[in-house]
Amino acid sequence: MKKLALLLAVLSLPLVAGAQGYFKDGMRWESCLSAVMVPPVEPAFETFMLDGDTLVGGVKAMKMYVENDKTPGRELVAVVRTDGDRVLFRNGAVTE
């Protein structure tokens, strides 16, 4: 029974290691926002990106910006950091 438990633990290590999420500077996510309406509405495209870092409460966090195809420029929307398996966001009153 002990050998079986040890074998299962060893076989599950790659699953645990592969499940670790991470964020790094320069990552980008693209999304398309659309609605089903009459008359049809053109979809909006947004890009979220991590660019630079800052200190929040004495802890290093990455700045998350958003830009879209409807308005020029980009906007700081949140800061994000990881703590083990947790991903922590702080949005709202975020300043540069």
Cα(74)–Cα(70) distance, rounded to whole angstroms?
11
Cα(53)–Cα(94) distance, rounded to whole angstroms?
12
Q: Can you give the pLDDT at residue 15?
A: 47
Residue 33 bridge partners (DSSP)? 44
Gyration radius of the chain's alpha carbons? 20
Q: Can you give the pLDDT at residue 21?
A: 57
Give yes or no for residue 89 having a pLDDT over 70: yes
Q: Can you give the pLDDT at residue 16?
A: 47
Cα(43)–Cα(37) distance, rounded to whole angstroms?
11
6-36 confidence digits (pLDDT tens): 444 545 555 444 444 567 888 898 888 888 8
pLDDT band of 95, cuts 50, 70, 90? low
% of the chain exceeding 90 in pLDDT: 1
DSSP secondary structure letter of residue 13: H
